[in-house]
Amino acid sequence: MKPKRWGMIVDQRRCIGCHSCTVACKSENNVPLGYWRSWVKGLQKGDFPKVGNMFLRRLCNQCDSPPCVQVCPVQATVRRPEDGVVVMYYGKCIGCGMCIAACPYDARFFNPIRKTADKCDFCASRIENGLEPACVEACVSKALIFGDVDDPKSEIFNILAAVPTSVIKPELGTKPKVFYIQADHSLKGRIQFSEDFKEAIIDYRKSIPSPDATYWETRDQK
């Protein structure tokens, strides 16, 4: 049988920011209080009266070339060849924290009860039994679409072929399998600075060119 490659589409046009996916994830995976496997990032853009509220669903991107698997010293986290999901083996994990430091999406954390690293695994126990992940099932506006990205008959394949999608931080070559429809550039895991540094940063920007560095341009500059 051909190996599957599970993936997810997050349709930003449909997301209403209700956090159902966050709640469903926490209750399905028994995530301790104060920790999240997946969450919704909220962001506000623009000036009154033209203001936009935006949401970005964050979860493990299930990379095809995962930096966390690369650095694990004990192979406690692997990309399963049969379905492309990056899973944790909690019994092996020594809790060194290298994978947490290496994840470009900050999707990993120390589970304080299990005392190991933890992460979203597309609800591995559910998809093994033919169910969809808990967040997909809980989504009220069908903003989350889950399926085999290699199967031409699946819904996700059709959408990926017909609709422009983007991934977070493609420049790192991690080949994520979580695709976003109409995700704003300012939403996608970019850096936010505290006010203290803005002056200095803008001063440097004037003298030294830096590609892709536009996110700290303030309204004073316009």
Partner 1 sequence: MEASVLYNVPHDIPWKVFIPLYFYFTGLSAGSFILSTLSTVFGIKRFKPMALPAAIISFLLLLLAPACLIVDLQQPTRFWHTLVPEYFNPTSALSYGSWLLTLYPIANLVYIYFIYVKNDRVTKIIGTITVPLAIFVHAYTGFAFALVRARAWWHSALMPGFFLTSALLSGIALLVIVAMIMDRLRSEKLELDLYKSLRIMMIGILLTDLFWTGSFWLTLLVSNSDGHASILLALHENFYLWGEIFAGMLVPLAILVYPGTGNNKIWLSFASVLIICGVFLMRYSVVFIGFDIPLS
Contact between 201 and partner 1 (CB under 8 A)?
Answer: yes
**C-alpha–C-alpha distance, residues 208 and 152, integer Å:** 47
Binding segment (CB under 8 A) for partner 1, from list 36-44, 127-135, 146-154, 156-164: 36-44
* The only residue of 27, 75, 141, 158 in contact with partner 1, by rule CB under 8 A: 75
Contact between 206 and partner 1 (CB under 8 A)?
Answer: no
Residue 18 or 71: the one with the smaller Cβ distance to partner 1 is: 71
* The only residue of 57, 58, 62, 176 in contact with partner 1, by rule CB under 8 A: 58
Residue 128 or 203: the one with the smaller Cβ distance to partner 1 is: 203
Contact between 96 and partner 1 (CB under 8 A)?
Answer: yes
Contact between 18 and partner 1 (CB under 8 A)?
Answer: no
- Burial class (CB within 10 angstroms; exposed 0-12, middle 13-18, buried 19+) of 171: exposed
Within a 10 A sphere around the Cβ of 101, how many other Cβ atoms?
Answer: 12
Minimum distance from CB of 142 to partner 1 (Å)? 23
**Hey, what are 196's tokens?**
């203290």
Contact between 3 and partner 1 (CB under 8 A)?
Answer: no
Residue 3 or 46: the one with the smaller Cβ distance to partner 1 is: 46
Contact between 104 and partner 1 (CB under 8 A)?
Answer: yes
Report the candidate in 192, 183, 187, 176 with the shortest Cα–Cα distance to residue 59: 176
Contact between 101 and partner 1 (CB under 8 A)?
Answer: yes
Contact between 180 and partner 1 (CB under 8 A)?
Answer: no
Contact between 27 and partner 1 (CB under 8 A)?
Answer: no
Contact between 109 and partner 1 (CB under 8 A)?
Answer: yes
Residues that bind partner 1 (CB under 8 A): 35-36, 39, 41-47, 53, 58, 67, 69-76, 92-98, 100-110, 115-117, 171-173, 186-187, 189-193, 196-197, 200-201, 204, 208-213, 215, 218-219
